[in-house]
Structures are given as C-alpha cells and as structure tokens.
Structure 1
C-alpha cells in the first residue's frame, strides 16, 4: 500500500513541477506554449499581401511585409520597413515629380460641408493609410494603379488634378502641416506595383488596407 502511495505522490510532484515550469515560461516570455510548439514545427504566419483591386486587374504580387511589433507604430516606421524588406528592383520604376495635397480649400477649393469635400475623382473618399489615395494623370497612371513611393508608402491612383499632367503625382495628407513638414515637392522614383484599368472603388481600397494592416501586424 505504501508503495502505491509513493507512486501517486511522485506523479503528483511531477505534474506540479510541469505546471510550475509552464507558469514560469509564460510569465517570462509572454509566449504561450502552443505558439512555441507551432514555431518549432515550422508553422509561420502568412504575411503576404495579395489582393485583386478589381476583378480584371489581376492579383498584386505577394510580398512579405515585416511585422511591426507595437500597435502604436507610426506610418513612417511602416514605410521604412517596407523600403528595407521588399526587393523593389523587381518592379518597373518611373521618375516623377511628387507634391502633396489635402482635402481642404487651399488644395481643392472645397470646405467641410461641401458635398464633394474629400471625394476624389473616382468617387473614393481621400484616405491616408498603408494604401493611400493619390492623384495622377490618368493617361500616365490609370485610375486604380498602385505605386510604391519611397518616403510615403503605397499610393492608389484615385484622383486627378488640372495641374497633375504627365510625370506628376499628388500625394494625399490629412493636414497642410503634414504636406509641408513630411513632403513638400520632390522628384522621386516610384515603383509600379500594379497598373490600373481605369477604375477603383472604396471597397477595393478598404480590402487593400485590411490586408496591409493584418500583414504589418498593426
């Protein structure tokens, strides 16, 4: 009988020891054991961005986006990571003159309350995110074209402008201060990620940003 009790006691001590190891590991590393096992088994997170902008535009090339570790990571950090981690030499490049604009009167002649305020030529509301709305000459970059602009990020052509002709683009920013402090006017080489077919919808842009945010870990 005493031998049986000893066996039970030993098993109980072993279980307690394993639980203690588990609690120590999760407290120090903040990585659940099941996630650790997943890594050891070669399971990795799919971080590719691949999304059709429009049914006949095809699928964007699948590229790895480095995971941003904090939810408060800035747009600048995300853009820098994209510049460093993706091999942009694989994409066609075009040199353009890039300026910045806002939805406000100084850029568009419209004010809040105007039905057309903040609405691009395509009908998509202006947007600054991983994929932002930009303006271009549609004969040069058709609506729906996705560019990567170093220092700015992904731009989706959704707008036009009377002064935006030929090799010129206009990048959307939320405020005038951002236009002057973050951009101004510069000549820059942009990478053509996907050439558009002349259409872009709000749903298309939202789908791109949903996948972009997930891939960046934001």
Structure 2
C-alpha cells in the first residue's frame, strides 16, 4: 500500500510539473522562417497590436528563432471596439472627409509577397477591404469609407502613395486594371 502511494505521489508530481511547463511554454512562441505577426496572431487568436505591445515591438519585423509572448494583458483591439464601428456612415461617425486620387493594386503580381505593412496577408484573405495610404495623411489602422469601394481599413503603404493618394486592394489583376485611376471622396471614420 505504501509503495502504491509513493508511486501515485511521484506520478502526480511528474504530471503537475509537465503541466506547468507546457503552460509556460504556451505563453511564448518561437518564430519560424516565413512567419509574420499576422500569421502568429491568427494562430494564437490574439491581435497584431497585442503581440507588438506584449513584445515591445516598434515595427512588424520579426526574425526566426525570436521568442514572442503570445499571451498577456489584453489591449483594446479593433475587434473589441467593433460595437463602436459604424455599419453605415453618418455625419457623427465621420471625422474628416476629402478627395483623393485612387488607383488599385493586387497581391497577385510577380514578386509581391501579399503581406501589407500592418501584417495582413492579402493572398490568404482576398475578401478584405484594405487601402494603401500615406501614413502622414491617414494613419495606418484607420477605418475609412471610400466612395465606389466601401468600408475599408488603412492597412498598407506604397512607394508611390504620397499625400492625398490611395491604392485600393482588389484581389484580381483584371479588376484592379478595370478600377484604373480616379478621384474619389474618402471619409475618415471614428
């Protein structure tokens, strides 16, 4: 009977030790080649913003073998603020309104990674409405309404996007070419 209690006690200690170790391990993630903050955020069901905050990252750049905290104190994210996101624009939701020159881009070009400046994978999420902006004019992460395009998020930048110019993401090259270049009204939303 004593031997049985000793064996059970030993087994319990091993079980608890392994459980605590795996719990600690699940709070961190080791970056692998090809990982992005967006990919890691989706895998661990956290926001890119939280990952950057918890790991004191100033950019979206990560490196293989880098250890990242994937659990921590939650930061208010766009998903949590969704109740405040307007489903339709009203004058009280519009912070600013102006005209921009809009062209279209796609993630399906030769040499395109499909990963935006904010870490969104457009090749894996072709239904997302994302625009490329000049962050000095429209901050990255801003919710907008673009006439002729719809509700979108400012999630990318581009070398030719300076001042009052935007690029709207369109999944196919033919549709992007059809969009062309036009002047459109853009509304910056709360």
- TM-score normalised by length of structure 2: 0.51
Q: Check whether the contact 1:103–1:110 (CA below 8 A) recurs between aligned residues.
A: no
Q: What's the CA shift for 1:128?
A: 4.2
Q: Are 1:144 and 2:141 an aligned pair?
A: yes
**Separation in 1, partners of 2:187, 2:135:** 16
Which residue number corresponds to residue 187 of structure 1?
183
**Separation in 2, partners of 1:188, 1:156:** 16
Q: Check whether the contact 1:88–1:191 (CA below 8 A) recurs between aligned residues.
A: no
Q: What's the CA shift for 1:88?
A: 5.1
**Separation in 1, partners of 2:85, 2:157:** 28
- TM-score normalised by length of structure 1: 0.45
Which residue number corresponds to residue 174 of structure 1?
171
Q: Check whether the contact 2:93–2:189 (CA below 8 A) recurs between aligned residues.
A: no
**Separation in 1, partners of 2:85, 2:108:** 35
**Separation in 2, partners of 1:187, 1:171:** 12
The 5 A counterparts of 1:66-105 are: 86-87=89-90, 90-91=93-94, 92-105=96-109
**Separation in 2, partners of 1:161, 1:104:** 16
Q: What's the CA shift for 1:87?
A: 3.1
> Residue 160 and residue 88 in structure 1: after superposition, are their counterparts in 2 closer, same or farther (change >3 A)?
same
Q: Check whether the contact 2:144–2:153 (CA below 8 A) recurs between aligned residues.
A: yes
Structural RMSD (CA) = 2.6
Cα shift readout 1:44-80 (whole Å, capped 9, x = no counterpart): xxxxxxxxx97277946454x5xxxxxxxxxxxxxxx
**Separation in 2, partners of 1:90, 1:147:** 10
Number of residue pairs matched?
Answer: 112
Q: Secondary structure at the match of 1:141?
A: coil
Moved over 6 A (4+): none
**Separation in 2, partners of 1:88, 1:184:** 29
**Separation in 2, partners of 1:135, 1:173:** 11
**Separation in 1, partners of 2:165, 2:177:** 18
Which stretches in structure 1 are left out of the alignment for 5+ residues? Answer: 1-52, 66-81, 112-116, 195-218
**Separation in 1, partners of 2:97, 2:126:** 23
Q: Secondary structure at the match of 2:155?
A: strand
